[in-house]
């Protein structure tokens, strides 16, 4: 399994829902996605980013306190459907494992709620705020064939596409991000927001405000970006 990089057409494809029959077969792939996410220093990954055009994402925005060991705790969401976005919005610089080497300022809601299935087919309700809400919106975009470029006006999109081509030519790989989009881009740097582990047997570093390679530079956001996500099993009645 590998991360698909733009402009692969699967990244612009609207993904189809996972059927009950497909779910057991996708469970193994979902866990492989999580390992790849940690290895690539991301905190979120959508199925189309590994070439699977299905509505499946994995996310882990948990950040341990200073001095504590990071313990991977991925959340898998199948067929996620947004039920609420807050009116309050914030703009932060994001990166993407499928668009390595650059960052883009994107405005998103600061809170959300969604409904989905877990890997066992159970219904779950998710409430997220701060950075976790941003991370989820980033991954949900992927399921509808929306990349960071689609958030830009035509002129800015051309400029960022050119910057991306330069980053790729310079050898940018998934997990690399550029400097913030407002400052002068001085080259491609490895994201300091490592999420951590290649496999359970390796040591894990803590994620630090990143998803799908996304980075939130200090001072860019006006609201608290600490990851907060709450999952509830849905009442079957």
Q: How far is CA 147 from CA 7, 83, 142, 152, 224, in A?
A: 10, 21, 6, 10, 24
- The number of residues in the chain equals 237
Residue 132: strand, helix, or coil: helix
CA–CA distance, 130 with 216 (Å, rounded to integer): 11
3-class DSSP assignment, residue 164:
helix
Residue among 94, 111, 139, 163 flagged as catalytic: 139
Beta bridge partners of 232: 125
Among the listed residues 167, 165, 80, 90, the one whose alpha carbon sits nearest the alpha carbon of residue 127: 80
Task: Mark whether 139 is an active-site residue.
Answer: yes
Q: Which long-range contacts (CB under 8 A, 24 or more apart) does 214-219 make?
A: 214/42, 214/43, 214/44, 214/94, 214/95, 214/96, 214/134, 214/135, 214/138, 215/93, 215/94, 215/95, 215/103, 215/177, 215/191, 216/92, 216/93, 216/94, 216/131, 216/134, 217/92, 217/93, 217/103, 217/180
Structure tokens at 206: 């803590």
Which residues belong to the active site?
Answer: 139
């Amino acid at each position: 399994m590998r991360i698909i990089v733009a402009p692969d057409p699967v990244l612009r494809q609207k993904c189809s829902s996972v059927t009950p029959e497909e779910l057991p077969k996708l469970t193994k792939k979902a866990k492989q996605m999580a390992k790849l996410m940690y290895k690539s220093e991301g905190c979120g990954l959508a199925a189309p980013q590994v070439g699977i055009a299905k509505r499946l994402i994995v996310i882990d925005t948990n950040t341990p306190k200073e001095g504590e060991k990071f313990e991977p705790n991925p959340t898998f969401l199948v067929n996620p459907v947004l039920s609420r976005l807050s009116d309050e919005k914030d703009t932060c610089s994001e990166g993407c494992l499928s668009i390595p080497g650059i960052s883009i300022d994107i405005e998103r809601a600061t809170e959300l709620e969604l409904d989905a299935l877990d890997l066992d087919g159970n219904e779950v309700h998710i409430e997220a705020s701060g950075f976790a809400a941003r991370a989820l919106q980033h991954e949900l975009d992927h399921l509808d064939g929306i990349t960071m470029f689609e958030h830009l006006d035509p002129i800015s999109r051309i400029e960022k596409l050119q910057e991306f081509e330069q980053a790729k030519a310079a050898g940018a790989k998934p997990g690399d991000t550029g400097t913030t989009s407002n400052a002068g881009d001085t080259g491609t740097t490895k994201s300091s927001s490592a999420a951590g582990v290649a496999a359970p047997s390796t040591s894990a570093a803590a994620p630090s405000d990143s998803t799908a390679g996304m980075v939130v530079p200090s001072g860019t956001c006006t609201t608290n970006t600490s990851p907060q996500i709450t999952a509830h099993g849905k009442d079957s009645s």
